[in-house]
Structures are given as C-alpha cells and as structure tokens.
Structure 1
C-alpha cells in the first residue's frame, strides 16, 4: 500500500510535465516557425517477486512472473519538425522554407544559431537581420538605392536600383542548413536552435539541394501546433492526474483501515 503512494506520485509528476509542455505548445500557436514538443514516457524499475521462467518445482518453470512496477517518468520531449501552414504576407522580406532546412543566424558573440522564422528586416547598415537584430548568415547587404528586392526559390537575392530599373543586380545568396537529427537540436528561445552532439554537424547547401527545401518570398511558416490535438492531450493529462490522485486516496484509505485494525 505504501508503494502505491510513491508510484502514483511519479504519475502525477509526469502528467505535470506533460501539462507544462501542452501549455507551451498552445502558448506558441501563433509563433512563426514554432515546432511543437511531444512528451514521451517510460516505466520505472520493477520489483521482481517472481521472475518469469523461474523454477517453481522440480522440472517446472513459471510461465509468468510477479513484477510490480514503481511508476513512470518523462523520458524526453521531442521536437516535431513537421511543416506548418505557409501564409502569404506580401512582405518581400518574409521568407518561408518549403521543405527541410534552417536559416543561419549570427549572434553578437559570433556563435551561430538556426531558425525557421523567416520574418527578416533590414538594419541601418542595410544588412538582412532577424526581428531581434541578429545578422543572417551569410551576410547580405541591400544597397540604399535599391527600390525592389527579389528572393528566388534557390535563395538568390537580387535588387533593382533607382535609375536602373531594367537591370537586376545579385547582392547575395541565402543558404539553408540541414541536420541528420533535427530533434537533437537545443531550443534556445527567440525561435532559435543550437547545434548539439545529438543533432550532428550542420549540412549547408543552396535551397533546393541536398534535401533542403525551397525559399518562398512573401510567405511565412506558421506554427505546426494542432489546437484540437493539444486540447485532447490537455484533457487526457488532467484525467490521468486525477486517476493518480484517486489511487493515492485509495491507498491512504486502506492504510487508515489497517490502522483501525491495530487499535
């Protein structure tokens, strides 16, 4: 009976983490390029009162065992990189990735991060940056006399300058990065991911090559969170939590009954 108290407590802790993850997914339902997290569970150690296949008599083996589990725990939260809906913004600096890949972003300390958020801007120096002001890598500078910007599906960035509207000038090339295991990336906030030993090294290529997607100017990728699925998961987590609390209450009542017997 005492064991049931601790076992149910592990279930409550696991469902609390599941609820936290669901709340985070729902909070980011409108976050550009956000990828939802999915919680995985695994059972804990077992108390073996009788091992399956153990000898119960001379020449006889038990076909089953007596194994009592000690609960559950969260084994991981996996980022699901299925594509989100692509919406038309008609902003020439908004770029969506149609397929796999990440944009490279350069932090002020020189470190590189990766993002699916293509809502770019131009800073005072004419460089292409994120909404936080981080430089897009490789760096692309738009000349001040540019009157229009065109970004091709292969990431080629070209402009038309004032006084030479019939001439197109290429000013840079966007590249995309793939990872062998994108779920192994570390989420850093601000729609940024960092490389880890689990993700593998970045594979840099031109959009549309080596398994990367194409770039789409004037579009943004929405979050891949399915609100209906998250609400169902929310209800399931709540009910599982309630069942574990009920198990604790039942174990407590049984202990109370045992105490009464002693009296």
Structure 2
C-alpha cells in the first residue's frame, strides 16, 4: 500500500512543481494571476466499515485555483495601456468571434480604428453620445474614425458675451457721427461643407441704454436688421430680456455656392452696459471644419475620447467591464484570457468606477500578482515533499526486499 501512497505523493508533488514553475515563468506577464495547487487526501473504506477503520491511500490534487488579488500598477505612459484598479475584467471579442475576459490591458489601434489586444481581440465597450454619456449596456467593439475625417458641422448658434461702454455718446449726436465699426467684433462660422464664413457684429448707440445691432458676412459692409434689432439695457447695466426674445437669427450663405443659405441663432443674452471700455469677454460658435484623428484619451470611468485636428473632441464609447459571481469558475486560456463557464455564471456588466467595479487607469498596466520570493520557497517545499515521497517508495522496497530474502 505504501507504494501507492508514495506514487500519489510523487504525482501530486510533481503537479505542484508544474504549477509553481508556471507561476515563476509568468512573474513578468501583465495581468497574470498566480495559481495554487490544492490537495485532498484519499481514503479507502470497506462496505459498512466504521469511520475509524478507513485507511489513507494517498493524496490527489483536488484543483488548481487562481488568486485574483490586485497586482501592482506600473505607469507606462502609453495612452492605450489600461489597468483595472479594483474588480472587473476587460471584455474582448476574439478573432474567432468568441468572448474572452482579461486583466491584461496592452491595447493598440489597428488600421481600421479598432482597439485590439496582442491576439487581435477587439476591446468591447458601451455606446455613448459625443459628450461621453452612456446610452446603454449593450457592449460593442470600440472603434475610432482613424481612416476618414469626422465630417464638418454647420454653425447653428453664435454666442457673444461683451460689455458696451455706457459712457459712449449717442452716435448721431457727435460730429462726425461715430462710425458703426467703432464697437464691433468678428467670428468665423462654417457652412455645411465646413467652409469658413466670416461674420461681423457691430453696435451703434441710438439712445440712452439702447444700441442697434449690425451684421456683416464675408467681409461685406455692416447692415442693419430688418426690422432693426435694438438691445435695451436696464438701469443696472443688465440687458432687458424682452429686447432679445425670441433670440434673433441671421442668414449666412456658403462661399462655395451663395444659393446655399442657412440660419444661425445669435445669442446676446450675456451682453451688458457698464461705464467701462468696450470689451468682448467670450465669443463662440458651434460649427467646425472636418478634422483628422490625432490622439485619444481614456478617463477613469473608461470613456474613450478622440482628439481631432480641428480642435474638436468626441467620445467614441466607454470601456466595458464585467465581473462574475464565481471568478474561480472561469476557465483560463492562453494570452492572459479567461472564458466563462457554467460554474462562473454569466458576466455581470457595469461601468468603471461604479458599484464594485474598479476604475480605469490609462497609461498604466497591472503587473502579475506572483510573489516570486514566495514561489521560490514553495518550490523548495515541493521539492522536499517529492524527495520524501520517493523515500517512502524506497523504504517500502527495502521492506519487501527483506521479506523476500528471509530463509
């Protein structure tokens, strides 16, 4: 019987050394989780035998479990290196179409703008609007428009925040009259094709606390609104909302085809009239010309934002994180991936940084959680166990040899 016990010990110790060797070999593998051989004793019992008569017949490796503890996070500076600080797994669609889950966040862009890992698996994410607000938890491959520029956007609104000098005389009361262009500014709007349309704004004081607005397009002379648009100011210098309700609109024409016109709302609600010099505090519009992809950033909530050559930024989605009720039920596979099984349960989806899901750290990677010093000690212990079981077999052989040599 000692032969069988020793042989089971040798097999188990050898299996343990295999597990320890695998851990040591992957001490520098990003996202790797250390494994541990868990042993169980074996007993033989006869039918209807009392519990005390059971005889031990050796040991077996009951399972090889993985320890999903947090690894150290190392800063790399690469924008597409991602680390999860806390619970969760990245979800990737492998080239064969199956889903896999990983903690290894070494991603890159392919020629089509897909975010992929080293095995070609596509990083999955949640759809968002351009501002980065999540639309649903239906995961889909994250893609950036790297191959073609983002289309132009037609200007629909011009916002101007400025102060008109309350000390200015009424334009017609001085000789010569104050030129219309004395108090003015300009901004560039964009037509549907992204072509520039210069727009000028000018203001002429027509009465105390009253200014008339003029506009010009494409370098033309300032012209008055029809009927005239007058800004009326209150005694405290704030604008009278009634004078700009509803908000006025101007009609712009495309430089490419003057027949193509489009309306633009003029937002002057932040205008003021104080006894200080004329000044433009803010001037903005919501159009832009086409832009090429330049770079991307990923924040702690996993929102992927692309930056473009026209100065615009646009969210391309949010990195999806998943978790499992039983992570020990996941089946490990090559490339630092795990696959879901019946034991692990279905993936539970969430967004980074919410609930029990960890946050995303861009420009960093999660190191292996292998304790190299501990593994070397475990290896020596396993080696001693192997030697001890071999000695058991050797001793049993000597006993049998003694019996066989009896006269």
Name the CA distance, whole Å, in 2 between partners of 1:177 and 1:214: 12
Alignment of 1:111 onto 2:258:
no
1:11 aligned residue (9, 17, 20) = 9
Residue correspondences, number: 246
1:232 aligned residue (377, 380, 385) = 377
Alignment of 1:25 onto 2:23:
yes
- Contact 2:87–2:356 (Cα < 8 Å) also in 1: yes
Deviation at 1:50, TM superposition (A): 7.2
Alignment of 1:192 onto 2:192:
no
- Contact 2:43–2:54 (Cα < 8 Å) also in 1: no
Alignment of 1:120 onto 2:107:
yes
**Partner in structure 2 of residue 56 of structure 1:** none
**Partner in structure 1 of residue 279 of structure 2:** none
Deviation at 1:246, TM superposition (A): 0.6
- Contact 1:157–1:170 (Cα < 8 Å) also in 2: yes
Deviation at 1:139, TM superposition (A): 1.4
Name the CA distance, whole Å, in 2 between partners of 1:136 and 1:10: 44
Name the CA distance, whole Å, in 2 between partners of 1:120 and 1:27: 22
The structure whose Rg is larger is 2
**Partner in structure 1 of residue 302 of structure 2:** 155
- Contact 1:92–1:149 (Cα < 8 Å) also in 2: yes
**Partner in structure 2 of residue 51 of structure 1:** 50
**Partner in structure 2 of residue 101 of structure 1:** 88
Alignment of 1:129 onto 2:128:
no
Name the CA distance, whole Å, in 2 between partners of 1:50 and 1:76: 28
Secondary structure of 2:332's aligned partner: strand
Name the CA distance, whole Å, in 1 between partners of 2:391 and 2:45: 23
Q: Residue deviations 1:137-156, cap 9 Å, x none?
A: 13122232222211011110
Deviation at 1:179, TM superposition (A): 0.3
Q: Residue deviations 1:90-123, cap 9 Å, x none?
A: 0000010000101111022321111101110000
More helix by share: 1
Q: 1:47 to 1:255 in 2, by over 3 A?
A: farther
**Partner in structure 2 of residue 59 of structure 1:** none
Name the CA distance, whole Å, in 2 between partners of 1:257 and 1:131: 61
**Partner in structure 2 of residue 92 of structure 1:** 79
Structure 1 stretches lacking a partner, 5+ long: 53-64
**Partner in structure 1 of residue 144 of structure 2:** 142
- Contact 1:37–1:80 (Cα < 8 Å) also in 2: yes
Secondary structure of 2:78's aligned partner: coil
TM-score (normalizing by structure 2): 0.59
TM-score (normalizing by structure 1): 0.90
Name the CA distance, whole Å, in 2 between partners of 1:43 and 1:132: 40
- Contact 1:148–1:159 (Cα < 8 Å) also in 2: yes
Secondary structure of 1:44's aligned partner: strand
Secondary structure of 1:87's aligned partner: strand
